[in-house]
Structure formats: structure tokens, C-alpha cells
Amino acid sequence: MRGHFFHFEADADLRPVTRASLRRVVSIFRPYRRRVVGVGLLILVTSGLGVINPLLIKVAFDDALFVPGGPRMALLYVVVALMVAVPVISGLLGIWQTYLSNIVGQRVMQDLRNSLYAHLQRMQLRFFTSTRTGEIQSRLSNDVGGVQSVVTDTASGVLSSLVIVISTVVAMLLLSWQLTLLSLGTLPFFFWLTQRVGRARREVAAVTQRSMADLSAITEETLSVSGILLSKAFGRQRHETERFRRENERLAGLQIRQQMIGRSFFATIQIFFSITPALVYLVAGFVLQGGGGGLTAGDIVAFTTLQSRLFFPIGQMLQVSVEVQSAMALFERIFEYLDMPHEITDGPGARRVDPAGVRGEVRLRDVWFRYDRPPEEVDGRAPVSPAEDGDDGRQRRLWTLEGVDLEVAPGQLAALVGPSGAGKTTVTYLIPRFYDVQRGSVEIDGIDVRDIALESLGEIIGMVTQETYLFHSSVRENLLYGNPDATDEQLEAAARAAFIHDRIMELPEGYDTVVGERGYKMSGGEKQRLAIARVVLKDPRILILDEATSSLDSTSERLVQEALQPLMEGRTTIAIAHRLSTILAADVIFVMDRGRIVEQGSHEELLEHGGLYAHLYLQQFKGGTIEAETADGVVLSSGRVVPRPNA
Ligand code: ATP
């Protein structure tokens, strides 16, 4: 990067640039080719203009100042005027060039960010559950953000260095070929020095990195609770301290070496800069002694000025390959994300379904599902085995859902109950296609969800999740997320239906109060009611409700409950039920355990059955229809005794 040509990558994990990725990078810039050409031309001109002033020095010395009969002022005026004008023009053109290259850089970044964001929005949930958030943000901000400096520093730097070197060498040749030879003759030494120091620094940097990693590993291992327990228990503190001291000493030594290599390199360069003019004078002396070759004082001054222009761009060009490779690595990291396939997409036969015409029948047919593999990686025809032998010889459960069959008629309320980890949430994720099944099918009105265009699937289904997520914006905007076209009247009606309107009116700015992450703090129950209002506005045919397990106080609980009832009316609802009232209101209850539906029926039927449901019911809600409880179980109002499963 410009101004940092003495900077060496410590741990350059750089691969050779491939033609294909180079072509792809070029294609990103294609829409801005006119500006790119403009930038190139401006660099050419401004870098080239740099040799004019040194050449004017010669004219000033030889033709204007030191001429027999005194200075020729007329010429001097012209030369001085030019010497003022050239840097001014060059400076202005430089500003224009910076403007253009920033536009190109920013536009390209804007394009990349947009396509990356759009691509990520369509990625499957699986991707987000298995990627660190920081990683995604880093690609979007840091990697894409680096593109600007590739344009303004790397690409522009390479071109301008090239132009400066060529134009300067040509100008030097025009002045004196002998001096040019001398000057170029010193370059191999300069190359050699840069390469050597570069290598040495890279090596030391790598060793230093490793030493730092070792040191922190030692710290982590030995200063953790278990580590310190171990060393105390075995009386090894002295040994550990000694080990740390040794590694620490090594690190300090390495860092001093690293600094010294850098400093001595700078010192050499500085000496080099300072003594080359002296060498030029010496050689000029020899040239003059041998007949002069037309060498003038102006030539010599102009020459030393030109020569000083050479070192920086040459140093930069020596770094070109490293810079280009890091720039390409940057682009490749971006491309890698852009090329990630979308797992959940509209199939060729997918069609739009009019939400108004949907009856709302939901059916899962022999659904097998596992989180660890995308659907295409499991051969649909192969017989499924529920478990496989783990490394320890024990059977490992492979499937999160194993042959789940479930049918909910239009308008019904179905409750999913079961112990934690049974797969209830997973079932609800399959209906809106957050994941696709590996075997079997999920159907709405008899149509496989994979044959329904994703966009209309999103319109058919509404969700109220456990954790209510509110954006950092006004209540109004949060509600409108459910239906951006809703009128103020509809908005208010929805809020009233969810028993939240009165509360909203009490807020400092009513519907315009900013809520969400850092906004006005809503209570748990209020947030849930806002979420309910949001879904009321959306008015989906199928509602998926994950009841919050977090306890609300009884008033809040009652309000949420009252808000939910009208919401569930007239649509198919699948509820992961934690509240007794929901379970009791359900038309059908599906009891899940370890990825299977183990019981299904009405509350009374299931209690009579005396299986897992009765057990769970006993554990969670000791009330309702239970008449009496004994040590062996409970006596129901029907007179039947339900034994405790573990009794
Ligand atoms: P709870 O009532 O505790 O929320 P649940 O019945 O809703 O439980 P699920 O969330 O469907 O259970 O989880 C079923 C199983 O799948 C669990 O064993 C869980 O660890 C596993 N699981 C859930 N999400 C993932 C995921 N993203 N990746 C891998 N495994 C997962």
C-alpha cells in the first residue's frame, strides 16, 4: 500500500492469482470502465508531469541563471512561471484522479455489498446457525471495505510507480547516459537489500507469531481453573513458571530482532539516499575530466533531483506481487460467499399460491429430518437407519425427526407437546421451509411446500416465536412489518385485537415511540402482544405459535392469552404449547418424544391413555381435571387412575 512499501506481511497466506479470478475481478469493474480509463489517463499525466520540474531546473541553471553576461530574466520568468504552474496543474489533476478512483472504488463496493447482502438474505437458516455472526459481518464490512484501497492504493500505486520509473529513467537518459548508468547500477544492490530484509523480516515475524501463540497457549492451559488445579495438585508451579519465563524471554528477543531488522533497513536506505548525490558528483567529475560530454551544472542538479524520485516507486514495485496477491485474496473471500449455493430455492415446478384461496390443511408425511446435512446429501431412496454406532460403540441417534406423520385440518388448533429436545420446534421450521426434509414431505392443502413459490409460502404462514424480535424503530414500523400496506385504522384494529393499543397510547410518542434493541423497553408480555398484533396485520392462513416458556405475571399472561384466542380463530394454528389453556383448547394434541410422534388425540383421550402426555401433564399442571393424587398416580374425574410412569 502506498507509503508502506517497507511493510511485509507477517504471515502471508497467499496463493497464486488464477486467470479465472482475475477475469472475474475485471468483470466487476466493467460497468465503470470509462472512469477506470479516466483514472489511468490521469495517473499517466500526473506521474509523467513529475519529470518536468527537474528538467526545468536544468534550464534555469544553464540557460537563465548562470550565463555569461548575467541572468536572462525574461527566460527565468517563463521558467519560474512554468515551475509554479506544473505542480499546481498536477495537483489539481491529482484531486480529480482521487475523486474518480474513489467513485469507482465506492461504486464497486456498493455493488459487492448489495449482492452479498441479497445473497445472504436468501441463505438457508442452516448457514446462519453454523456460522459465527462476526464472520458474516466481517466479510460484509472488512473484506468489501478493503476493495476501496485496492483501487486507490494497489492498482493506482502500481500504475503510477510504473509511469514514474519509466518517465524518470527516460529523463535521466536525456540528461546524461553516463550518470544514468551509475544510477541504475546501484539498483541491483537496492533490490538485493529489499529482498533480503523482506525475507528476514517475514521469517522473524512468523517465528514471533508462533512464539506469541505458544505463550498464550501456556497461559490459557495453566491459568485456567483445571490447569491451576493440576499444577497445584502436582506441585508443578515452579516448573510452569520456569517454562513461561523461558518462552517469554524468547519472545522478547525475537521482538527486539524484528525491530532491529526494520531499523537497520531504514538506516541503510537513508544512507543510500544521502550518498547517491555524492557519487553522482564524483562520476560527473570523471566525465568532465574525460572531455565533459556536454555535462553542465544544471544537468547535475537536475539529475540528482530526478534520481531521488526513483527509490520510492521502485520499492513499491518490489512489493507488487505481495500486494496483488493480498488484493486477490480479498476478492476471493468475497467470491467465496457469493458462490455459496442456496439450499432452499424455488424448484422448477414451484408456483405462486393465492393466500386467499388457501384452506390451511397442513400435513407431514413420513418426514425424516436431520440438521447436520443438507437434503441433497442424503440419498432419499436409501433405507434410513435411526441410529448408527458412535466411536464409543454406543448407538448415536442420527435423525432429529424420524418418520413423523401429522395432519391438521383447516381451521384446527393443533398443540405440539413433548419433552425438551423432542423436535417440536423442528417440525414448525419445516412448514415454512426454513429447512427441507430429507425424506417424506410437508404439504399445505395437499401441495408439497417445495412446489409453492417461497414468496407466497411466506405470505401463507405467520409465526409468533418465543423470543419477540423488535427492530430498533417505531411501534408503527414494527407492526407494519406484518403488512406494509396496512392503513392506520387496520393498524389500530390489530393493536386492539392484541390488547396492546391502550398500552401503546400511553407511550411517550404513541405509535411513533421507538422500541426494539435500544429503544423503549417493553415488558415481555407487551412484546408478545406486539408480536401478536404484527401477525394479526399479516392475517396468515396458517399460524405457527411457539408459546413463551418464560413466565409472565398472571395479568400479563391473561392479556396474552386473550390476545391469542381471536388470532387463532378462523385459521389453522400449530402451537408449541406450554400453557394449559392452549392445550385444553386444542382440537388435536400431538405428543412428541425423541423425534417421533408417540401419541395423539384430545386432552381427555390422552389422559385416559395414561402415557407420556399424562405424565407430562402430571408434572407440569397438577390441576384441571385431576380429582385426587395418590402415591401411585392420579385419579381422574372419570374415575380412571393414571399411574405415574416411573411408579
Ligand atoms: P424445546 O422444547 O426444548 O424447545 P424442541 O422439542 O422444540 O425442544 P427442537 O428444538 O426441535 O426441540 O430440537 C430437536 C433436536 O434437534 C434437539 O436434540 C436439538 O439439540 C437439535 N437441534 C435443534 N436445532 C439444531 C441445529 N440448528 N443444529 C443441530 N441440531 C439442532
C-alpha–C-alpha distance, residues 459 and 328, integer Å: 41
* Separation in Å, CA 586 to CA 115, 430, 582: 45, 21, 6
Residue 386: pLDDT over 70: no
Q: Could you report the per-residue pLDDT of 327-380, keeping only the tens digit for each?
A: 888 888 899 999 999 988 888 888 999 988 899 999 999 999 998 877 766 554
Confidence band, pLDDT 50/70/90 cuts, at residue 9 = very low
C-alpha–C-alpha distance, residues 130 and 253, integer Å: 41
CB of 426 within 6 A of ligand 1: the answer is yes
Task: At 410, list the grid cell.
Answer: 383447516
> What pLDDT was estimated at residue 111?
94
Residue 468: pLDDT over 90: no
> Do residues 6 and 262 make contact, with C-beta atoms less than 8 angstroms apart?
yes
CB of 360 within 6 A of ligand 1: the answer is no
> What pLDDT was estimated at residue 3?
38
DSSP letter string, 47-105: HHHTTHHHHHHHHIIIIIIS-TTS--HHHHHHHHHHHHHHHHHHHHHHHHHHHHHHHHH
> What pLDDT was estimated at residue 424?
93
Q: The dihedral of CA 593, 598, 603, 606: what is its sign? A: negative
Residue 585: pLDDT over 50: yes
Task: Provide the 10 A C-beta neighbour count for residue 175.
Answer: 21
> Do residues 108 and 43 make contact, with C-beta atoms less than 8 angstroms apart?
no
> What pLDDT was estimated at residue 395?
62
The mean-pLDDT minimum among 7-16, 445-454, 515-524 falls in 7-16
C-alpha–C-alpha distance, residues 172 and 170, integer Å: 5
* Separation in Å, CA 644 to CA 281, 284, 503, 594, 629: 105, 108, 44, 20, 10
C-alpha–C-alpha distance, residues 604 and 206, integer Å: 71
> What pLDDT was estimated at residue 453?
93
> Do residues 197 and 265 make contact, with C-beta atoms less than 8 angstroms apart?
yes
- Mean pLDDT is highest, among 255-259, 306-310, 467-471, 581-585, for 255-259
Residue 108: pLDDT over 90: yes
Classify 186 as helix, strand or coil.
Answer: coil
> What pLDDT was estimated at residue 264?
84
> What pLDDT was estimated at residue 16?
67
Q: Could you report the per-residue pLDDT of 114-158, keeping only the tens digit for each?
A: 999 999 999 998 898 888 777 788 888 888 888 888 888 888 888
Radius of gyration of the chain (CA): 38
Residue 55: pLDDT over 70: yes
pLDDT above 90 coverage of the chain, percent: 37
Residue 622: pLDDT over 60: no
List the one residue out of 156, 249, 163, 173 whose CA is nearest residue 211: 249
Is residue 629 left, alpha or beta, with left meaning phi > 0 and alpha meaning psi from -120 to 50?
A: beta
> Do residues 470 and 515 make contact, with C-beta atoms less than 8 angstroms apart?
yes
Confidence band, pLDDT 50/70/90 cuts, at residue 382 = very low
> What pLDDT was estimated at residue 148?
85
CB of 597 within 6 A of ligand 1: the answer is no
List the one residue out of 636, 617, 616 whose CA is nearest residue 626: 636
- Mean pLDDT is highest, among 45-49, 152-156, 261-265, for 45-49
Q: Could you report the per-residue pLDDT of 20-36, keeping only the tens digit for each?
A: 888 999 999 999 999 99
pLDDT, average across residues 425-448:
93
CATH class for the region spanning 27-338: mainly alpha
> Do residues 501 and 475 make contact, with C-beta atoms less than 8 angstroms apart?
no
Task: At 258, list the grid cell.
Answer: 524484528
pLDDT, average across residues 456-470:
87
Classify 516 as helix, strand or coil.
Answer: coil
Phi, psi of 642 (to 5 degrees): -100, 115
Task: Give the mutation target among 126, 406, 426, 576 for probing the ligand 1 site: most ligand atoms within 8 A of CB.
Answer: 426
Confidence band, pLDDT 50/70/90 cuts, at residue 18 = confident
> Do residues 479 and 534 make contact, with C-beta atoms less than 8 angstroms apart?
yes
> What pLDDT was estimated at residue 558?
76
Q: How far is the CA of 595 from the centre of ligand 1 (A)?
A: 10
Residue 627: pLDDT over 70: no
pLDDT, average across residues 218-236:
84
C-alpha–C-alpha distance, residues 579 and 558, integer Å: 11
> What pLDDT was estimated at residue 578?
82
Predicted TM-score (pTM) of the model is: 0.75
Q: Could you report the per-residue pLDDT of 277-292, keeping only the tens digit for each?
A: 898 899 899 888 888 7
Confidence band, pLDDT 50/70/90 cuts, at residue 53 = very high
Q: How far is the CA of 398 from the centre of ligand 1 (A)?
A: 13
Q: Could you report the per-residue pLDDT of 534-575, keeping only the tens digit for each?
A: 988 888 999 998 887 665 667 777 777 777 777 788 899 999
- Which H helix or E strand runs over 117? helix 73-121
C-alpha–C-alpha distance, residues 544 and 574, integer Å: 5
> What pLDDT was estimated at residue 551?
58
Confidence band, pLDDT 50/70/90 cuts, at residue 384 = low
- Specify the higher pLDDT residue, 146 or 392: 146
> What pLDDT was estimated at residue 15?
62
C-alpha–C-alpha distance, residues 391 and 589, integer Å: 38
> What pLDDT was estimated at residue 630?
59
Contacts 24+ apart (CB under 8 A), 334-342: 334/112, 334/116, 334/139, 334/143, 334/144, 334/147, 335/21, 335/24, 337/116, 337/119, 337/120, 337/139, 338/115, 338/116, 338/119, 340/119, 340/123, 340/127, 342/119, 342/122, 342/123, 342/124
Confidence band, pLDDT 50/70/90 cuts, at residue 624 = very low
Q: How far is the CA of 421 from the centre of ligand 1 (A)?
A: 5
DSSP state of 139: I
CB of 400 within 6 A of ligand 1: the answer is yes
> What pLDDT was estimated at residue 6?
39
Residue 403: pLDDT over 60: yes
Q: How far is the CA of 29 from the centre of ligand 1 (A)?
A: 45
Residue 194: pLDDT over 90: no
CB of 113 within 6 A of ligand 1: the answer is no
Q: What share of the chain is helix, strand, coil (3-state, %, to 5)?
A: 60, 10, 30
Atom 31 of ligand 1 has which residue's CA nearest to it? Answer: 371
Could you state, in order of their start, the residue ranges of all structural domains in the chain? 27-338, 355-375+396-601
pLDDT, average across residues 465-484:
87
CATH number of 355-375+396-601: 3.40.50.300
Alpha helices of 539-611 — where are they, by DSSP H?
A: 554-568, 580-585, 603-609
Task: At 642, list the grid cell.
Answer: 393414571
- Which H helix or E strand runs over 166? helix 156-175
The mean predicted confidence, pLDDT, of the chain is: 84
pLDDT, average across residues 210-228:
84
CB of 124 within 6 A of ligand 1: the answer is no
Residue 92: pLDDT over 50: yes
Task: At 27, list the grid cell.
Answer: 468483470
CB of 130 within 6 A of ligand 1: the answer is no
Task: Provide the 10 A C-beta neighbour count for residue 412.
Answer: 18
Can you tell me which atom of ligand 1 is nearest the CA of 426? Answer: 11
C-alpha–C-alpha distance, residues 405 and 386, integer Å: 16
Residue 4: pLDDT over 70: no
Beta strands at 413-417 and 588-593: parallel, antiparallel or unpaired = parallel
Task: Provide the 10 A C-beta neighbour count for residue 232.
Answer: 10
Can you tell me which atom of ligand 1 is nearest the CA of 416? Answer: 6
